[in-house]
């Protein structure tokens, strides 16, 4: 095959491909390879073109044995390193390299490992405390009823914390599972918000705040999953109570439908406002990450698992809606949920 024909064939392939000739120099490369190795590769010695020992060793092995090999190659041209799985194969005296981008798969693997490490850490802390108290209760505090009652109280608190964490983990996995399934129920938002606030009465009274429901509009129906929307607004109002209690007032507003530029359709806005401590700007974008908390100690103290907003985000995605968190330190936080009510343009 002429060099031109080889060039045309590999240019038509959907993957970055490079061909090394018997003289060990690059014989052909398609344009997708340019973004990995830079331009003007033809005629260059493959060692100069590739420069990474793992792949050079794989090429040497394949040309010696004619057996295919696989090597890892890290592309350093973009703003972020890209990881490729490179297949090295003998092709009638030439060596053919095919690059497959593995970055997304590696990132997903890393996220999974981080998630498991986080869950283990979150469970280990209360478990260590429980084991410590069990030991104390079966030894030193065995005959001391006052200490026993106090320790049992702490043990119940730690066990509740683990239960909340396991509940949230299960909820997260369920929500992730049906994220692609469109919700079909017709939900009356004013009735739903009233029942959420009613359900939170014990927390509201304990925190000494007032929660006001401001129905700027009513009779608004959306297509949604009522159970999941209850979860969203319970979480948001609970956060406003937990982190905004110092401001004493929490408002839940149901605002009339309006065109939402981001969603490119009409949407209803539900806005939960507190007058608490607020959140520093640099934290805001990360709040929906699993286990991300502004203040670990404070979140644990008020019974947080660090998963609430991650669950909220998934549910809103399922509803093709949008979550907007606005906050100013010292002034309070406004969390808005936009739910689409019109056809997407
Ligand atoms: P948690 O279970 O810790 O409450 P969330 O995912 O619900 O987890 O929230 C993540 C973090 O966001 C919280 O730990 C808290 O630091 C911050 N946060 C959430 N809502 C508010 C709010 N209304 N005011 C201040 N900080 C908030």
Token readout for 187 is: 């939900």
Return the CA Rg of the chain. Answer: 29
Predicted structure pTM score: 0.81
Please tell me the predicted confidence (pLDDT) of residue 343: 55
- Same topology between domain 3-101 and domain 183-345: no
Report how far apart, in Å, the C-alpha atoms of 247 and of each of 143, 198, 207, 251, 283 are: 45, 20, 11, 11, 20
Q: Three-class SS of residue 284?
A: helix
Is residue 289 within 8 A of residue 310, CB to CB? The reply is: yes
Closest to 82 (Cα-Cα) out of 35, 46, 42: 35
77 secondary structure, DSSP code: S
- Domain 103-178 coded CATH 1.10.287.130: yes
Please tell me the predicted confidence (pLDDT) of residue 203: 92
Is residue 281 within 8 A of residue 294, CB to CB? The reply is: no
Q: Determine the residue of 282, 309, 329, 337 to mutate for testing ligand 1's pocket, defined as the one with the most ligand atoms within 8 A of the Cβ atom.
A: 309
Supply the DSSP string of 114-127, one letter for each residue.
Answer: HHHHHHHHHHHHHH
- Report which ligand 1 atom has the smallest distance to the Cα of 295: 16
Distance between CA atoms of residues 117 and 114, nearest Å: 5
Is residue 291 within 8 A of residue 307, CB to CB? The reply is: yes
Please tell me the predicted confidence (pLDDT) of residue 344: 44
Distance between CA atoms of residues 69 and 52, nearest Å: 15
CATH of 3-101, one of 3.40.190.290, 3.10.20.600, 3.40.30.10, 3.30.450.20: 3.30.450.20
CA torsion sign, 284 to 290 to 296 to 302?
positive
Distance between CA atoms of residues 338 and 345, nearest Å: 16
Report how far apart, in Å, the C-alpha atoms of 274 and of each of 240, 245, 304 are: 6, 8, 17
> At 128, which helix (H) or strand (E)?
helix 103-138
Ligand 1 midpoint to CA 77 (Å): 38
Q: Which fold has domain 183-345?
A: Heat Shock Protein 90 (3.30.565)
pLDDT tens digits for range 13-56: 999 999 999 999 999 999 999 889 988 999 999 999 999 999 99
182 secondary structure, DSSP code: P
Please tell me the predicted confidence (pLDDT) of residue 143: 87
The residue whose CA has the least distance to atom 16 of ligand 1 is 294
Reported residue count of the chain is 345
Q: Is the CB–ligand 1 distance for residue 274 below 6 Å?
A: yes
Is residue 293 within 8 A of residue 299, CB to CB? The reply is: yes
Ligand 1 midpoint to CA 293 (Å): 6
Please tell me the predicted confidence (pLDDT) of residue 342: 65
Ligand 1 midpoint to CA 235 (Å): 9
Is residue 336 within 8 A of residue 274, CB to CB? The reply is: no
The domain ranges of the chain are 3-101, 103-178, 183-345
pLDDT along the chain (345 residues), means of 10: 81 94 95 90 95 96 96 86 95 94 93 94 92 90 88 93 95 92 94 97 93 90 96 97 88 95 94 95 96 90 92 96 95 96 59
Ligand 1 midpoint to CA 239 (Å): 6
Taking the alpha carbons at both ends of the chain, their separation in whole angstroms is: 50
Q: Determine the residue of 293, 302, 305, 313 to mutate for testing ligand 1's pocket, defined as the one with the most ligand atoms within 8 A of the Cβ atom.
A: 293
Helix 145-177 / helix 103-138 crossing angle, nearest 10 deg: 160
Please tell me the predicted confidence (pLDDT) of residue 345: 40
């Amino acid at each position: 095959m002429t060099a031109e024909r080889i060039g045309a064939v590999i240019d038509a392939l959907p993957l970055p491909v490079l061909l090394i000739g018997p003289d060990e120099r690059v014989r052909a490369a398609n344009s997708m390879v340019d973004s990995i190795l830079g331009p003007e590769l033809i005629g260059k010695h493959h060692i100069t073109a590739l420069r990474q020992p793992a792949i050079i060793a794989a090429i040497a092995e394949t040309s010696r044995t004619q057996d295919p090999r696989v090597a890892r190659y890290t592309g350093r041209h973009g703003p972020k390193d890209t990881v490729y799985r490179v297949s090295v194969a003998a092709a009638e005296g030439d060596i053919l390299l095919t690059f497959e981008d593995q970055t997304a798969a590696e990132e997903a693997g890393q996220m999974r490992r981080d998630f498991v490490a986080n869950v283990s850490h979150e469970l280990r802390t209360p478990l260590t405390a429980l084991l410590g108290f069990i030991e104390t209760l079966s030894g030193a505090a065995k005959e001391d009823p006052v200490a026993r009652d106090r320790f049992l109280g702490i043990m119940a608190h730690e066990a509740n914390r683990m239960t909340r964490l396991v509940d949230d983990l299960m909820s997260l996995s369920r929500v992730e599972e049906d994220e692609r399934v469109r919700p079909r129920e017709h939900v009356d938002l004013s009735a739903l918000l009233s029942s959420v606030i009613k359900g939170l009465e014990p927390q509201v009274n304990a925190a000494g705040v007032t929660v006001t429901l401001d129905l700027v509009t009513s009779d608004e129906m959306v297509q949604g999953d009522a159970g999941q929307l209850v979860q969203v607004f319970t979480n948001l109002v609970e956060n406003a109570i937990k982190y905004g209690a110092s401001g004493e007032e929490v408002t839940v507003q149901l605002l009339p439908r309006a065109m939402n530029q981001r969603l490119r359709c009409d949407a209803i806005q539900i806005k939960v406002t507190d007058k608490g401590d607020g959140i520093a700007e640099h934290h805001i974008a990360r709040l929906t990450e699993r286990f991300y908390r502004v203040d670990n100690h404070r979140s644990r103290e008020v019974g947080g698992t660090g998963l609430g907003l991650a669950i909220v985000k998934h549910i809103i995605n399922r509803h093709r809606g949008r979550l907007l968190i606005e906050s100013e330190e010292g002034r309070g936080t406004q969390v808005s949920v936009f739910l689409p009510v019109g056809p997407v343009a």
